[in-house]
Structure 1
Amino acid sequence: MENAMKDQSPDFTLDVEGVKGFCPIGETYAKQQMADGTTPVLSCEGPCIRGDIARRAADLVAKEPSLARACHGETFFVPHSSMATWVKTAEQVLMIDGCFLKCHGRALKSIVSEENIVQIDALPLHKKYCDKFLLDEVPEEERNAVAREVADKIIAKLKQPKPSACGCGTEACSPKQ
């Protein structure tokens, strides 16, 4: 039996055990976000430094008006929850991945139309820590500073005018902001 790693995996699915119930406070929170029309913000939740930077940046970005953090656990694994409904029905979902693998972003595409996802890989925004895995290898103060830098770049990108759908540049043809 060959035990070599492959560079690529085919598409795959996971069988996830069903669950009874949901998070009561998550229900209240998600219903309020739907009522307010906020854009859900999801992020990499990996334990490595790159995932930590993405998560911290997402927490900062979500403080912007009209944006709010969504729980990835409920979104992906409690499909009958209000959290999942909020993410699935939002006009736009912001996904901040920690690296080129885009793990959560790839999973998100199975429940949200790709055209409704703004997917950002945080790694090219800071270009650091490719030689480190554990978040404890980077001092807390530095992690916070890098996350702020990444968040500021994402916020600036989100504020850029979107190109018109047909390419003419007129507001009439532009997608909703």
Structure 2
Amino acid sequence: MNRTLLFLLLTAVGLTGCARRAANPSTADAVTRPPPAAARERDATAPPASDDTEQALAALRAAPIYFTLDSSSLPPEAGDELTRVAQALRQRSVAKVTVSGHTCELGTTEYNIALGQRRAASVRAYLMRLGVEPERVSVVSYGEERPADVDAPAKNRRAEFSFRLPEQAHAGEL
């Protein structure tokens, strides 16, 4: 038993000592410095740097699509925003979008989940008609669970967009 305790103690001390190794200053700078722009242009297969990712996603911002009470039909004013979103997605072939459907607090939980799903699906169908590939658009329904404004039910009857690039999916974002 004493040998086992001594072994565990030595192992713990050895592992703690390894964790405190100092980084080599010459290699630490190389890791934190981004590669020059020319190097990024030469290697088009490399994933974009975080600045490039932020710029690509900044162009993919979209306003929510608001629905009328108890409806999943797209309002006429949604056409311009969805056309802009579809064009931006077609220009960025690796970007994907999740459309989330939301409802106000009226109705049962089951009904609201189904209505949110129909709202998100109608947005997805419209984007597909505009030329966005189906595998790039996913849908989810939150029903009444994520209100935009508890004091304004009309703002809760919406579909929202979450854009992502492949490297974000691997990093656990979205």
TM range (shorter): 0.3 to 0.5
Bigger fraction of residues in helix: 2
From the CA coordinates, give the structure whose radius of gyration is larger. Answer: 2
The two structures have a TM-score, normalised by structure 2, of 0.33
TM-score in terms of structure 1 length: 0.33
